[in-house]
Amino acid sequence: MEVGETIGSGPNRFVITSELGSGAMGTVYKALFHHDGRVADVALKVVAPGLLGNDGARARFDREASILKQLRHPHIVRLFATGRFKRTPFIAMEFVDGEPLDRALARRNKLSWEEVAAYGRQLCEALQYAHEKGIIHRDLKPSNLMITPDGQLKLTDFGIAKDTDVTALTGANSTIGTAAYMSPEQCKGERNLTPKSDLYSLGVVFFELLSGRKPFAADTTVEMFMKHVHEAPPRIGKIVPGMPAKFEALVLQLLEKEKENRPTDAAWVGRMLGEVEEDAFARKSAGLDAATARRGDRPKRGSDERPLSDADKDAVRALRGVKKKKRKPDRVPVFDRPAVKAAALLAGLAGLAGLAYALTRPPSAEKLAAAVDAATTPAARLEAAEAYLRRYGDVPGEATDRAAAVFRDGQARDREGELAKRFPYPKLRADPDKADPDAYRDAMDAIQAEQAGLLADAAFLWERIEKRFPEEAGLAYTFDERRLENARLAWVAAKRRRDIRAVPAREKDIDARIYDLRRYEKAAPADPSNPDAVALKARRAEQAGDWEKAGRLWDAAVGLTDKDPDQHVLYLLAKEHRRAVDAKPPAADPAARRRDEVLKRVAAAEGRARELKNPGENVVVERGDWVLLRIALREVAELYEDEADPAVAEAVGRAKKLLAAVAKEGD
């Protein structure tokens, strides 16, 4: 589809006006929906062309349309129409003129508790409505919450929502959703999820919006799952000063590990948020009344009485025998008295001194620690950690330990980036750059060993750097320039050694995912821009014995990870496997070998399908026979659907067609 293109004709049609965004699953366009003489802006969601043959992607797309048809709520994005254009499915949804909460969070770091409570009440209304319809969202996160300019919230993306009235898309023990927001039962792969799974995710969303960070941080999906299942969340009240205690208690209750301990339903959560707002309003109102209260007017004297003259007063005194009092000199106004003026001057000076102190007073440890937690970029986190440590680094405690860890990580990341920039240039590689020459040379040699896939050699060199600076390596932090230079190199070495040690676990994680894909007959991710998806495909190519294709895929994984410090473990894994592939005896004609192997596997699958559909006498066909056939077909289709060889493409098409034909056999 292209901007300006018209879909449909007559009174009901769509005219594409702009592209809103695209991703692995497809593209979203803004369009004008002409319907029975009326025109409305819509968001047109179109499946990516590469996923048209992907059963899992198509099922997710169809599921979202099916679920949105059931939902009509002011805080849920509305479905207008569904259809196909040139065999490509599309969904026309309400166009929300606003921004997702994750973008607002990235811009502002965190939101006030008042805003979160207001958005939360709207979200609870939407969730309660969906839950009562038997629909569990399963992917609640800030990026799926749109906010309009007037503060209206819209819940979006029901692509992996579960309709409890129909069969789920995934099998038992499967995990769907974004790992950082998933409930413990999702992480454990429980089949029968309940609305309380969404309530846990709601707690994670509240935590992130309020604090600017997620309750748990992890390097791998498996580690994140373990934290959701076993680790208690931090006390958010310590991170967000001034947060109402009732709101903090609500967030912690939403994050309970056992679903029985979470709130009853979303409606109850909404009522609690309302109470939090009412309590705060009542406190503010009481304070305002007390601050603005005035004295009552004093009673006035009767206006009918004629005031006595001085002569009259003297006559009265004479009759009573009272002597006239001597008149006191006129009283000096209070504010003109010297003592009062002096006191006022002293008070003014004291006020100025107080103001000067307030303006120059160092920020508290709590405020500086909160700034570390609130920072969203590595540079900002390092700056905030340094500000804390320079003033409170000698104060023991959790906040100091956390700031020191951020400082070490930030300094190591910066030094790591400097080494990476210098490595490609021989002259710079030979220049120690103020560092210890021997340690610097070891660091460059270690980077070269990593690039060659020689991880054991790299680990040895990094360890040697750590041993060269044992004292600096063990420092929590330092601001001494010379010691810091050695410490930065030692911290880089420690990080790179941890990454190397994590490579086997990363490989096991990939193998476990491949096993789950086969066991539960799930479609593999097919995004060529996703390094995890590319690495998984490369490992499958290795298992299929297609070393040439595996090498190409590992090279692609290297290209996607070599500039990203957070993906360094996967980079090392790709380099190690690329070296192993290079060690294999090269095939005389890899393309011909691949073509023969694919044709043979597809022909064998077709023959097996005929046997299972027409078994001989006394032959019992088990469900597992069909499962193995589908696994074989899916392996061929997913592994080779990107090949340009016409014969391979034709065989892949046959495999997909047969897979669709036997999709429900044996169920």
CB-CB contact of 638 with 523 (8 Å): yes
CB 145 within 8 A of CB 154: yes
Instruction: Report helix angle 547-561 to 590-613, nearest 10.
Output: 110
Cα angle, residue 345 at apex, residues 342 and 349 outer, rounded to 5°: 140
Are the C-beta atoms of 121 and 273 separated by less than 8 Å? Answer: yes
Q: How far apart are CA 140 and CA 197, in angstroms?
A: 10
DSSP one-letter string for 309-351: PHHHHHHHHHHHTPPPPPPPPPPPPGGGSHHHHHHHHHHHHHH
CA distances from 284 to 115, 280, 288, 293 (A): 17, 6, 6, 14
How crowded is residue 222: how many other Cβ atoms within 10 Å of its Cβ?
17
Q: Name residue 318's amino acid.
A: A
How far is CA 376 from its chain centroid?
Answer: 11
Do residues 69 and 79 lie in contact, with contact meaning Cβ atoms separated by under 8 Å?
Answer: yes
Over the range 457-484, which residues count as b (16 or more CB within 10 Å of their CB) and which as e? Answer: ebbebbbbbbebbeebbebebbeeeeeb
Nearest in space to 477 (alpha carbons), one of 416, 392, 420: 392
Catalytic site residue from 36, 55, 62, 139: 139
Q: How far is CA 162 from the centre of its chain?
A: 21
Contact 48, 36 (CB under 8 A): no
The structure tokens listed for 24 are 């692995």
Compute the Cα dihedral for 563, 564, 568, 571 and give only its sign.
negative
Those residues whose C-beta lies under 8 Å from the C-beta of residue 166, and which sit 6 or more positions away, are none
Is 139 designated active site? yes
- Cα–Cα distance for residue pair 621/612, rounded to 1 Å: 6
Residue at token pair 């789920």? 168
Token code pair at residue 618: 């006394």
Residues 6+ apart with CB under 8 A from 352: none
Helix (H, G, I), strand (E, B) or coil at 563: coil
67 and 135 in contact (C-beta within 8 Å)?
yes
Active site positions, annotated:
139
